[in-house]
Structure formats: structure tokens, C-alpha cells
């Protein structure tokens, strides 16, 4: 039988084949081409002007990310409305057409959405954004989610009583923000923003207006600016796009714009008329620093392929500059503790080149000189060919990973991208298109183009703002404003030399170690894990997953730690792994390692902790061997570098000195000291003199005595790998680790919290704000069930504290409890409450907190509250089951707690078994009113 094809059908087939060929071989990029909106997202506009973005995305499963974006922020406030853009955001959770006050938060908690952690919002200069993630298993929940967004858009109630009730909460938020940073911003922001309107419109507003504004002022803001032509709805997640679009039209198509809308204009930033130096000092400043802000320029959003190419060039010189600045901190006497420079956005539509540094013991002059001269070196001489090639490799590898993960990327990331498109016109062609741009454009970018772009970006002899911020304590030299300008101007005239070209090895370990072998294997079918026993006694648990396409995570753990060292060594032991990690491996500094590993996605750390040693690493799927190599070298061949050691110690000493100025640091250090009765084995905030105890040789001895032997280590590897292909790498790099005879059991150091009721006051800081710390501790017979009950108790109490301290009393903006239960070194628990409030409310807040604890002791938890906790936990658990990081953490936890790994799969049933009566018993067990520590921070007298 002969197949006959008509002429028209034949033409259609040829056309289809032609289109397929074009898809596989798209036409060459033209720099003049506009960047299109990618096919992954549907962008549309309703008749009333509301913009919408819809994308179906399956990560995480059964979840939908909803956003309401309003182009209305504090910059639009009238003089009687300062702070009311942010206040409006608060009122979105305080009553609307379909939700009475507090009903919205309660409803969302009942479906597993946590207030603050999931449900949230923010207000900035130019926008307000509402964040609502919801589960999608039930259609009615999805429908209700869109109803919430609609209510936020045009259905807020603004009841007078609700407004007055919310004043206290917003004023507490303002109080929390007070301190040295707030005092500094009030002086510096007008300077940094060149006297523009932005400096008079900080989103938190003004206290007197928040206390007394008339009800119509906030309603007027809502009427004027919450309108569809200034709004976008973003919908990304596990939903049919057609259904999402229909829900958008149903809920938002009826919104109307006002007949005579106020024009939405953006504030301008004027040019700086002259250079200026500014000095700000305060006794509470934690670190002396310097900042140079060069002219602010308009920055229109790029819309063409040429604009995208220019962005890639800017990424390259920024990458190289950051590496050069980091290298300066590795010197024996570094010019600054940390520093950097580059182009950055200021506010919508503007950007500026700036340079800044945290100062070391040398003060402002060496820091300014180094910042300016390093920038001028790049400006005058450009970069080396090898620097640019390494930058290209690194940027291309980042694009490759994003492309590989394009179907495994979280919906929240896409939602953030679409918010930026609406607010700032950032292009959204999709990662497939961006990967194409990168792979086609980057190879052809020349060294001369990168150098030319840096030359244009880095200013010289231009008006600038030079800012010094530092402590005004006696003995601290503070430069004068005119001196700052003189130093910066002189630094631009100091001659610099070109950066010398330096060659680096192309691979970390040209010759691998002599491989060991795999001598045993067991498979856990339930968990999908394979456990290997290696010839050196090390165990490896492998869990290949399809959660990501280009991610591998590794964790290794063993008991021991600094518990095995005496009191005289404890400070060296605390800092051993941090210091050794700063010095690199083999003959490579950390900066060298970044260059040797250019183009690879890999990291690894090795750590000596209180009760254990650990190794942590991550890599892309093609970089697993480099991750193994780096971990192997960190354990077996750490590098000694006296210059880096000296720079590190000086940096820590300076930071410790700066830390003493922060009231919060003094407070939390007092909490730790009080709770553990000044036990020298408990890590506290370091004092400058503490670093006199350190010795480079002793630090290396302590580190090597623990990490040079892998005896009794268990490694867990989770991610996108093939078990059979990874086995040879495991044999080469993990089975070859030395396993010399060392102690592999932790020692109970005898550290115990104080007993009885201990109360202490700390007087620090000049602002009228307090923080209450309550710590309940004790012994416990550890079990997973008991740990879950205690955590449920803490979460229920957090719900009650929000209801009572925040919503009813208006005495707190944020704060709450957290709890831990440990099996080692002995069965113990700690429940901490951290409650910021006004000094005059301390006693009321403590009394209210104890009253809520007592209610659960007497009556147990309300079942509705417990169900809210369970819903959030189950939602988080189901999400975690599709994440490599979750599995790595849980597998390591089973090692620490000597529990059955299969329990991972029974979590939901164990959560379901918790009853309100269990929390009643837990409250009586864990809240012993004859045994707690109370520390309260008050302003200094």
C-alpha cells in the first residue's frame, strides 16, 4: 500500500520541519533586538490597567505563590501621612470586606501559612508588596487566596478602633528600629541621596504623626494610590494558567480607577553640586567605616540584547574588582578589614559607583588609599586576560546551573523576578533565553571591552561624598570632614602600577591520592539510600535524588570536638577551624582557590565544634570530584600562613572591640554568662584581650589532631548523582582518608545551666527600648516524640503571644519563643523567650507571657491552635521531602540522635498523634516557675 500525500499536506509538513529547524537553530542574535517576554510566563493587562503575571511551576508541589504589588510607597505620602503607606500595609491584616480583624491571620494559620515566615508584606519608598503563599490541594483554598488579594486591593475596612489598636504595634516597630543605625540614617541619608525627597520619606514615618494622624489621612492614601492602574497580581505555582487568569479577571476586573487620579510621579535625585566630607560618630557604632559615594546617574532599564551584553560586561569587572579587594584583606597588615567597590542601584531609575570599607587598626587613611588606588589601578591599566577568562568561566557556570535547574526552581524566585519587571522594568526573557544570551555573547566579549567599561564606570576628579562613621569614645582618632576629602583626592593622584599576571593551576589536585576501596554495601529501599563501608572504616550514605538537576550536597560528622581539650585550650579550639579555613590548602590561599576553581560550582568547609567534627560541601553535578578534592585537602593538607593568621586575628580583635559598643551585644552576652554562670567552656562574645590566648601553631595542632584522621566519620551525600558513577570518587577521596587512632567519643564537659530563679538587669543604650529574655532549662529523657511535643508547645505559645502581646495589648511588634531538646552530651532542653518592648511595659509583658503559659498548664492547648501548628509542620515537611538540604539535615540528625532513619517517613503520623493534653503535660514539665533565668535590657541610666 502506497502512502499518498497531497500537495497542501506536503507543504504543511515542510513548513513544520522548517519551524522545528529554526527552533533548534534560532537566528543569530542582533544587538538591536528587543528582549522579549519569555514563553514561561503570561503577562497581561486588564481593561482597568491592572497588570498580571501567570506561570505554572511545579516546585514546590501543591503550592501557589500569590503577590499583590502596588506602585505606592512612602514617597507618595502627603505631609500629614508620613508613615501611612507602611501603616496601610499593617491594616491589610486588620479587617476587610471578607475578613474581620484577626480573622485573616487565623484562617491562613489554619491552612498551614505562618504569619511572618510565609504570610508577609513590605513597604519601601516606591512600592508596597503583599506576599501570600497558599497550598493548592483544595480549590476553595485557592479561591480564598484570590479573595484575600482582592480585599487587600480595594476592600480594607479602616475601622477607627482597628486603626487606633494598630498604632501601638507600628509604634513598637518604630521603637525596635531606634538605635545607632536610625540616628545615623537621619544624618546621612539626606547627604547620600543628594537632598532629594526620598530622605524625607523613610517608610517607618514620624512618631508624632503615627500617634495622632486623623483617620481620613490613611483612607485618603488608600483611595489615591491603591488603584488598578498602579497594581500587579503575580501568580506562580501549581495551578492551571487558564484557571489563574479567570480568577484574576473575576476578582480584579471590577476594580475601578478614580475619575481624577493623582499623577504617579517618581522623585528625582539632583546632581551633587560639590564634593563633601561627612563625619558621624556615636558611642554605639559597632564598626568604624568609610564610604565614598560618587555621582548618581539616571539608569534606564535595559531592553535590548546590547543592554544585556553590557550588563554581562559589568558583571565581569565587578567580579574581578571584588576578588582584588578581597585579596587586600589577606595581607599581614591589611588596609581594611573588609571592603569593596562597584556600581549599584540607589533607588528606582538611579545608580552610582561607590566604594566602602570596614576600618582596621590603621584607621581611615590606609583604607581610603587602598580603595581609591585599587579602583584607579583598574581604571588606568584594566584587568589581565586571565582575570577576564576566570570571570567568564564563573559567570557561564552560574548560567549553566540556572539553566539546568530551570524546571526545578522555586516559584518564589520567579515571583520576585516578575515583581522587579513590574516595578523596575527588568527584562524577563526566561532562563533558556538568558542562557543562550550568555553562551553566545560572553565568549566574544574582549578584554579591551571589559577594561573600557571599567574605565567609564570608575570616576576620577568628580564630585563625591566621603563619609566616616565611627565611635566617639575617648582614644579613637576621628578624622575631620575636610581631611576625608583631602585624603580621597590625594589618593586619586598617587601613582599605581598594573596588576601582575599570575598563572594558576588548572586543577586542584593533578594527582589524586591512592584510592581505597568499598568493602560493604547495604540498601535501604524505603529511603532510597545506599550505605557503603569503606576500606578505612569510614561509612558513606548515598541518596540520589531528582529534586534538582545540578546540585549535590555532602555532610560528614563524627563525635569528639573541643570537648576533648582542656580549659587552657578552649579559646584556641573555638577558633581553630575558622582560622585554618582562612588560610587555604596546599599552597593555595583562599583567593587562589577561587581562581583555581574558576568555572566550577563547588564549596567545602571542615569544622571542629563543641561535641563533634564535621565536613560540609556542595557542588554542581559535574563538579563532584572538585568537592571531594577540596574536602580531602582541608582534612589532610591545611595551609599555614602567618600573614593571613595575623590579619585574621587583628580583624577579630577589632570586631570584638567594636562589638562592645552595641547594647544588644552586651545584653545577649549577659544572658549567656548568667545562664551558664560564667562557665569558661561556653562560647561568649569575645573581648579584644581574649585573642592574646591564640597561637598559630597551637591552632593548627588542635585542628590537625582532630581532622587529620577520618576515623569513625560518616558521610552523607544527597543530590543529582548516579550511585555507580560516584562510587569510584568515594573510593578515591573518602576511602583514602587516613584513619589514625584518635578518640572518637565526645566528653561531657559538665556544662550545666544555673538552677533556681535568677533575675538580672542590663542597662545599655540610649534609646527608650527594652528586651526581655526568659530561659527555661532542665534535664529530660530525650525522644523524638517528646521533642515534637515540646516544639508544638512552643509554637502554640507563639500563636498566643502574637494574639495577646501584639494584637490585644499592642505591646510588641515581633518576638517570641524557640525551644531545643538535645540527646548529647546529656538529655536536656532549653526554651528561650525573646520579647522586645517599651521599658515601661516590661512588667506587663512578663506577666502576660506567664499568664499564657499558666493557661496551657491548667487547661491544655486549644485544639484550633494545635491544628494550626500541625498544618504548618505538615506543609513544611512535604516541601522538605523534595529538597536535598532537608534530607541531608534529617539524615545527619538520625546520626546525632541515634535514631532510626526510617522515622523520616512516619513524621506526619507522629505529628497527628499529638493531643492538646500532651501540651498541658509538656507545659507543666518544661515551664518550671522555680527554675528560670530572666534578663532584661533597659536603657542606660
Distances (CA, A) of 349 to 191, 267, 298, 424, 757: 18, 10, 6, 8, 57
Q: Which CATH architecture has domain 518-733?
A: 2-Layer Sandwich (3.30)
b/e sequence 304-339, b meaning 16+ C-beta within 10 Å:
ebbebbbebbbbbbbbbbebbbebbbbeeebbbbbb
Query: What are the tens digits of pLDDT across the range 14-64?
Result: 333 333 334 457 788 999 999 999 999 999 999 999 999 999 999 999 999
How far apart (Å, rounded) are the C-alpha atoms in residues 918 and 786? 9
477 confidence band (pLDDT: 50, 70, 90):
confident
510 confidence band (pLDDT: 50, 70, 90):
confident
Residue count of the chain = 941
Mean pLDDT of all residues in the chain? 94
Q: What is the pLDDT of residue 897?
A: 86
Q: Is the Cβ–Cβ distance between 68 and 151 less than 8 Å? A: no
Nearest to residue 111, comparing CAs of 133, 93, 84, 79?
133
Q: What is the pLDDT of residue 455?
A: 97
Distances (CA, A) of 646 to 92, 637, 702, 703, 790: 53, 20, 18, 17, 45
113: DSSP letter: P
Residue 745 has pLDDT above 80, yes or no: yes
Query: What are the tens digits of pLDDT across the range 314-325?
Result: 999 999 999 999
Q: What is the pLDDT of residue 22?
A: 42
Q: What is the pLDDT of residue 13?
A: 30
Can you say whether the dihedral through the CA atoms of 64, 65, 70, 72 is positive or negative? positive
Cβ neighbours of residue 270 under 8 Å, at least 6 residues apart?
A: 194, 195, 196
Q: What is the pLDDT of residue 24?
A: 57
11 confidence band (pLDDT: 50, 70, 90):
very low
Grid coordinates belonging to 823: 540527646
The number of C-alpha atoms within 13 Å of 501 and in the hemisphere containing its C-beta is: 8
Which CATH superfamily is 757-938 part of? Answer: Metalloenzyme, LuxS/M16 peptidase-like (3.30.830.10)
CB atoms within 10 A of CB 922: 26
Domain 276-493 -> CATH class? alpha beta
Nearest to residue 648, comparing CAs of 587, 610, 603, 694?
694
Grid coordinates belonging to 542: 548515598
40: DSSP letter: T
How far apart (Å, rounded) are the C-alpha atoms in residues 719 and 705? 31
Nearest to residue 463, comparing CAs of 422, 442, 492, 494?
492
Residue 473 has pLDDT above 80, yes or no: no
Bridge partner list, 835 = 772
Residue 1 has pLDDT above 50, yes or no: no
Q: Is the Cβ–Cβ distance between 777 and 828 less than 8 Å? A: yes
The number of C-alpha atoms within 13 Å of 437 and in the hemisphere containing its C-beta is: 26
Report the percentage of the chain scoring pLDDT > 90.
Answer: 90
Distances (CA, A) of 459 to 371, 386, 448, 773: 12, 25, 18, 49
Helix ranges restricted to H, 608-683: 624-636, 642-659, 663-675
C-alpha distance across the termini of the chain, in Å: 102
Question: If you average pLDDT over residues 558-562, what whole number do you get?
Answer: 96
Q: Give the predicted TM-score (pTM) of the model.
A: 0.93
How far apart (Å, rounded) are the C-alpha atoms in residues 330 and 651? 11
The residue behind cell 564549596 is: 603
How far apart (Å, rounded) are the C-alpha atoms in residues 460 and 483? 18
Q: Is the Cβ–Cβ distance between 462 and 71 less than 8 Å? A: no
Query: What are the tens digits of pLDDT across the range 880-890?
Result: 999 999 999 99
Question: If you average pLDDT over residues 560-571, what whole number do you get?
Answer: 95
683 confidence band (pLDDT: 50, 70, 90):
confident
- The angle formed by the CA atoms of residues 134, 136 and 141, to the nearest 5 degrees, is 70
Grid coordinates belonging to 553: 550536597
Q: Is the Cβ–Cβ distance between 708 and 738 less than 8 Å? A: yes
Residue 9 has pLDDT above 50, yes or no: no
* DSSP assignments along 269-327, one per residue: -PPP-S-EEEEEE-TT-SS-EEEEEEEEEE-PPP-BHHHHHHHHHHHHHHHHHHHHHHH
Rg (CA), the chain: 30
Helices (H) and strands (E) in the chain, counts: 29, 23
How far apart (Å, rounded) are the C-alpha atoms in residues 2 and 57? 45
Q: Is the Cβ–Cβ distance between 196 and 267 less than 8 Å? A: yes
Domain 42-252 -> CATH class? alpha beta
Question: If you average pLDDT over residues 698-706, what whole number do you get?
Answer: 97
How far apart (Å, rounded) are the C-alpha atoms in residues 45 and 362? 57
Query: What are the tens digits of pLDDT across the range 201-210?
Result: 999 999 999 9
CB atoms within 10 A of CB 366: 19
Grid coordinates belonging to 608: 571542629
Q: Is the Cβ–Cβ distance between 359 and 371 less than 8 Å? A: no
Residue span(s) of the chain under CATH 3.30.830.10 come to 42-252, 276-493, 518-733, 757-938
Write 567-574 long-range contacts (CB < 8 A, 24+).
567/680, 567/681, 569/698, 569/702, 570/680, 570/681, 571/690, 571/693, 571/694, 572/693, 572/694, 572/695, 572/698, 572/699, 572/702, 573/608, 573/702, 574/683
Amino acid at each position: 500500500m502506497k502512502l499518498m500525500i497531497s500537495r497542501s499536506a506536503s507543504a504543511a509538513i515542510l513548513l513544520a520541519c522548517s519551524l522545528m529547524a529554526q527552533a533548534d537553530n534560532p537566528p543569530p542574535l542582533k544587538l538591536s533586538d528587543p528582549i522579549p517576554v519569555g514563553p514561561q510566563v503570561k503577562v497581561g493587562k486588564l481593561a482597568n490597567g491592572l497588570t498580571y503575571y501567570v506561570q505554572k511551576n511545579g516546585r514546590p508541589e501543591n503550592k501557589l505563590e500569590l503577590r499583590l504589588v502596588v506602585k505606592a510607597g512612602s514617597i507618595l505620602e502627603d505631609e500629614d501621612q508620613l508613615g501611612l503607606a507602611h501603616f496601610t500595609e499593617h491594616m491589610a491584616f486588620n479587617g476587610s470586606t471578607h475578613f474581620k480583624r484577626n480573622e485573616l491571620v487565623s484562617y491562613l494559620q489554619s491552612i498551614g501559612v505562618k504569619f511572618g515566615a510565609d504570610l508577609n508584606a513590605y513597604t519601601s519608598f516606591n512600592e508596597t508588596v503583599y506576599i501570600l503563599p497558599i497550598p493548592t490541594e483544595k480549590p476553595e483554598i485557592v479561591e480564598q487566596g484570590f479573595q484575600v488579594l482582592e480585599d487587600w486591593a480595594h476592600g480594607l475596612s479602616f475601622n477607627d478602633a482597628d486603626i487606633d489598636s494598630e498604632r501601638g504595634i507600628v509604634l513598637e516597630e518604630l521603637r525596635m528600629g531606634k538605635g545607632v543605625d536610625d540616628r545615623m540614617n537621619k544624618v546621612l541619608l539626606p547627604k547620600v541621596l543628594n537632598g532629594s525627597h526620598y530622605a524625607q520619606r523613610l517608610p517607618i514615618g514620624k512618631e508624632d504623626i503615627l500617634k495622632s494622624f486623623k483617620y481620613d489621612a490613611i483612607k485618603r492614601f488608600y483611595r489615591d494610590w491603591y488603584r488598578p492602574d498602579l497594581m500587579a497580581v503575580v501568580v506562580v505555582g501549581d495551578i492551571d494558567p487558564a484557571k489563574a487568569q479567570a480568577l484574576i479577571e473575576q476578582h480584579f476586573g471590577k476594580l475601578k480607577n478614580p475619575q481624577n487620579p493623582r499623577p504617579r510621579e517618581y522623585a528625582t535625585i539632583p546632581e551633587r553640586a560639590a564634593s563633601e566630607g561627612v563625619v558621624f560618630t556615636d558611642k554605639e557604632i559597632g564598626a568604624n567605616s568609610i564610604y565614598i559615594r560618587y555621582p548618581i546617574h539616571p539608569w534606564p532599564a535595559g531592553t535590548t540584547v546590547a543592554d544585556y551584553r553590557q550588563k554581562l560586561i559589568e558583571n565581569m569587572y565587578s567580579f574581578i574588582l571584588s576578588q582584588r579587594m578581597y585579596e587586600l584583606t589577606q595581607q599581614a597588615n591589611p588596609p581594611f578589614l573588609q571592603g569593596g567597590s562597584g556600581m549599584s542601584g540607589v533607588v528606582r531609575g538611579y545608580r552610582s559607583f561607590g566604594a566602602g570599607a570596614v576600618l582596621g587598626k590603621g584607621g581611615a587613611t590606609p583604607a581610603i588609599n587602598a580603595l581609591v588606588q585599587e579602583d584607579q589601578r583598574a581604571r588606568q591599566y584594566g584587568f589581565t586576560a586571565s582575570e577576564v577568562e576566570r570571570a567568564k568561566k564563573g559567570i557561564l557556570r552560574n548560567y549553566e546551573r540556572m539553566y539546568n535547574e530551570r524546571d526545578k526552581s522555586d516559584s518564589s524566585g520567579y515571583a520576585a523576578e516578575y515583581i522587579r519587571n513590574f516595578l523596575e522594568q527588568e527584562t524577563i526573557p526566561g532562563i533558556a533565553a538568558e542562557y543562550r544570551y550568555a553562551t553566545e555573547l560572553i565568549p566574544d566579549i574582549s578584554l579591551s571591552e571589559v577594561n573600557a567599561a571599567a574605565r567609564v564606570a570608575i570616576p576620577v576628579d568628580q564630585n563625591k561624598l566621603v563619609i566616616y562613621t565611627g565611635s566617639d569614645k575617648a582614644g579613637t582618632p576621628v578624622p575631620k570632614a575636610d581631611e576625608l576629602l583631602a585624603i580621597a583626592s590625594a589618593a586619586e593622584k598617587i601613582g599605581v602600577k598594573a596588576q601582575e599576571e599570575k598563572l594558576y593551576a588548572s586543577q586542584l589536585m593533578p594527582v589524586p591520592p591512592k584510592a581505597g576501596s568499598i568493602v560493604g554495601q547495604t540498601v535501604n529501599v524505603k529511603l532510597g539510600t545506599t550505605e557503603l563501608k569503606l576500606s578505612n572504616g569510614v561509612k558513606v550514605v548515598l541518596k540520589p535524588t531528582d529534586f534538582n538537576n545540578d546540585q549535590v550536597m555532602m555532610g560528614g560528622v563524627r563525635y569528639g570536638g573541643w570537648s576533648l581539650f582542656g580549659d587552657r585550650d578552649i579559646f584556641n579550639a573555638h577558633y581553630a577551624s575558622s582560622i585554618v579555613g582562612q588560610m587555604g590548602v596546599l599552597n593555595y590561599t583562599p583567593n587562589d582557590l577561587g581562581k583555581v576553581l574558576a568555572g566550577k560550582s563547588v564549596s567545602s568547609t571542615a569544622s571542629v565544634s563543641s561535641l563533634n567534627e564535621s565536613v560540609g560541601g556542595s557542588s554542581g553535578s559535574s563538579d563532584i570530584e572538585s568537592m571531594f578534592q577540596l574536602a580531602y585537602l582541608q582534612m589532610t593538607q591545611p595551609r599555614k600562613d602567618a600573614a593571613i593568621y595575623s590579619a585574621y586575628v587583628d580583624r577579630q580583635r577589632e570586631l570584638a572591640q567594636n562589638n562592645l559598643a552595641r547594647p544588644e551585644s552586651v545584653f545577649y552576652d549577659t544572658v549567656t554568662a548568667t545562664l551558664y554562670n560564667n562557665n569558661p567552656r561556653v562560647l561568649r562574645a569575645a573581648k579584644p584581650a581574649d585573642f592574646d590566648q591564640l597561637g598559630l601553631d597551637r591552632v593548627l595542632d588542635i585542628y590537625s589532631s582532630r581532622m587529620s584522621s577520618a576515623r569513625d566519620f560518616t558521610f552523607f551525600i544527597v543530590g543529582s548523582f548516579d550511585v555507580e558513577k560516584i562510587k569510584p570518587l568515594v573510593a578515591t577521596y573518602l576511602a583514602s582518608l587516613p584513619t589514625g587512632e584518635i578518640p572518637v567519643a565526645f566528653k561531657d564537659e559538665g556544662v550545666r545551666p544555673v538552677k533556681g530563679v535568677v533575675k538580672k538587669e542590663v542597662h545599655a543604650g540610649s534609646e527608650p527600648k527594652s528586651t526581655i529574655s526568659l530561659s527555661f532549662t532542665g534535664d529530660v529523657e530525650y525522644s523524638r516524640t517528646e521533642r515534637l511535643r515540646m516544639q508544638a508547645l512552643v509554637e502554640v505559645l507563639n500563636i498566643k503571644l502574637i494574639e495577646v502581646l501584639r494584637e490585644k495589648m499592642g505591646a510588641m511588634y515581633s518576638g517570641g519563643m524557640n525551644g531545643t531538646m538535645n540527646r548529647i552530651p546529656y538529655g536536656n532542653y532549653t526554651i528561650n523567650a525573646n520579647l522586645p518592648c517599651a521599658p515601661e511595659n516590661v512588667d506587663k509583658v512578663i506577666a502576660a507571657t506567664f499568664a499564657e503559659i499558666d493557661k496551657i498548664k491548667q487547661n491544655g492547648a486549644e485544639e484550633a491552635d494545635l491544628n494550626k501548628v500541625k498544618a504548618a509542620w505538615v506543609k513544611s515537611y512535604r516541601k522538605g521531602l523534595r529538597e536535598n538540604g532537608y534530607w541531608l539535615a534529617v539524615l545527619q540528625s538520625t546520626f546525632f540522635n541515634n535514631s532510626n532513619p526510617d522515622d523520616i517517613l512516619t513524621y506526619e503520623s507522629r505529628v497527628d498523634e499529638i493531643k492538646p493534653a500532651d501540651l498541658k503535660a509538656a507545659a507543666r514539665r518544661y515551664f518550671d516557675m522555680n527554675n528560670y533565668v530572666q534578663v532584661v535590657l533597659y536603657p542606660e541610666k
